[in-house]
C-alpha cells in the first residue's frame, strides 16, 4: 500500500498537471469502487467541475472541486493515478521509454476526461481502491480522517510531540507504534523498517524501555527517511507508480526492507525478518539494539 512519500508524490503531481482542469466526463467499468453514490449520480455531480487543487491527509488523497465538492481517493493496495495528455490518450505517440506501456499501468478502471483533452486514469489491479465524493467542508469530519494522528511530516510533529505520543503507549513495541495511524499518520511497512535501521533500534523494543537518545534518533530518522523518500518520488515495492507511470527511486537505496538473508551493508551479519502487526519487519540484529 502506498505510504506518505508515494501519496505526497501523487498529490504534488496532481497540483502541477491538472489544477484548473474542467471535468468533461467520467468513465468506469468498476462502479463498486464509488462509494455512497451510483455511477450515474457520481458522473452528474462532477461534470463541469473545475479542479481547485489536491491535498494529502495521511495516506489519503483529496481533490477539491468547485461547488464545494471534494473527491476522496484511497489507492489501497495496487491503485495509482496516471495523467495523460491528449496525444498520449489517443496513443498517437510511440516512445520506447513510455512508462504507460508497462504491464502494471494497464489495469485502468476509472477515467476522468478533461475538456482540455487531458485524462486522469486510475489503474488498480486488485480493485480495492475507493472513490468518494464528499462536501469539502466535511472532509475533516470523515470518521477515517478524524481517527488519524498527527502527520509524520507535519511541522507540528516535533520531538516533544513524539515523546508525548510515546508516553501514551509505554508497553507497545516501537515497530508497531510507528505504524499506528491513530498516533502518527503516514508511516507503513516499508518505512518503519528503514527508520528503525537508521536509528539503530530493534523493532521489538518496548517503547517504555527506550532511552531519551534512542527516542531522538527514531524521531530524526523518521523525518530524514520520509523526506528522502519524497525527494526520490517514493518506493515502487510492487504496483506503485507516479502519474507518469514511472516507478519511484527510493527502492534503489533500501537498506533492510525485503533484504532478509542478505548481508547488512554496515556489518557482516545477515538481515533478518519478523512479523509485527501482521506485517513483515526487517532489521539487522547487530546494528540495531
Q: Alpha-carbon distance 248 to 6, whole Å?
A: 8
Selected catalytic residue, list 17, 59, 118, 217: 59
Q: Which of 171, 165, 183, 175 is nearest to 257 (CA)?
A: 175
Residue 3 among the catalytic residues:
yes
Helix axes 189-199, 212-231, angle to 10 degrees: 130
What are the φ/ψ torsions at residue 104 (nearest 5 degrees)? Answer: -65, -20
Selected catalytic residue, list 19, 69, 255, 279: 279
Q: Which of 115, 63, 121 is nearest to 89 (CA)?
A: 121
Selected catalytic residue, list 3, 88, 194, 215: 3
Paired with 147 in beta bridges are none
Q: How many residues does the chain have?
A: 289
Residue 121 among the catalytic residues:
no
| Inter-residue contact 82 to 105 (CB < 8 Å) | yes
Selected catalytic residue, list 2, 5, 203, 247: 2
Longest dimension (CA), the chain: 61
Residue 2 among the catalytic residues:
yes
Q: Report, as residue numbers or ranges, the catalytic residues.
A: 2-3, 59, 279
Amino acid at each position: 500500500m502506498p505510504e506518505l512519500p508515494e501519496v505526497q508524490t501523487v498529490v504534488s503531481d496532481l497540483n502541477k498537471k491538472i489544477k484548473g482542469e474542467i471535468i468533461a466526463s467520467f468513465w468506469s467499468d468498476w462502479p463498486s469502487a464509488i462509494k455512497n453514490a451510483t455511477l450515474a449520480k457520481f458522473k452528474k455531480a462532477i461534470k463541469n467541475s473545475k479542479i481547485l487543487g489536491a491535498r494529502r491527509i495521511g495516506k489519503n488523497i483529496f481533490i477539491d472541486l468547485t461547488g464545494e465538492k471534494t473527491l476522496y481517493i484511497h489507492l489501497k493496495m495496487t491503485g495509482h493515478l496516471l495523467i495523460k495528455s491528449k496525444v498520449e490518450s489517443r496513443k498517437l505517440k510511440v516512445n520506447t521509454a513510455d512508462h504507460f506501456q508497462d504491464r502494471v499501468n494497464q489495469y485502468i478502471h476509472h477515467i476522468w476526461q478533461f475538456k482540455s483533452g487531458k485524462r486522469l486514469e486510475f489503474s488498480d489491479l486488485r480493485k480495492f481502491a475507493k472513490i468518494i465524493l464528499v462536501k469539502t467542508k466535511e472532509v475533516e469530519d470523515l470518521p477515517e480522517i478524524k481517527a488519524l494522528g498527527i502527520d509524520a511530516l507535519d511541522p507540528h510533529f516535533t520531538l516533544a510531540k513524539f515523546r508525548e505520543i510515546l508516553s501514551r503507549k509505554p508497553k507497545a513495541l516501537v515497530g508497531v507504534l510507528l505504524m499506528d495511524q491513530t498516533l502518527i499518520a503516514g508511516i507503513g511497512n516499508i518505512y518503519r523498517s528503514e527508520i528503525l535501521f537508521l536509528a539503530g533500534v530493534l523493532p521489538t523494543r518496548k517503547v517504555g524501555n527506550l532511552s531519551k537518545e534512542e527516542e531522538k534518533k527514531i524521531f530524526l530518522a523518521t523525518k530524514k527517511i520520509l523526506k528522502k523518500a519524497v525527494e526520490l518520488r517514493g518506493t515502487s515495492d510492487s504496483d506503485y507508480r507516479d502519474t507518469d507511470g514511472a516507478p519511484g527511486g527510493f527502492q534503489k537505496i533500501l537498506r533492510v526492507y525485503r533484504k532478509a538473508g542478505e548481508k547488512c551493508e554496515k556489518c557482516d551479519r545477515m538481515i533478518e525478518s519478523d512479523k509485527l502487526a501482521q506485517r513483515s519487519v526487517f532489521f539487522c540484529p547487530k546494528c540495531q539494539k
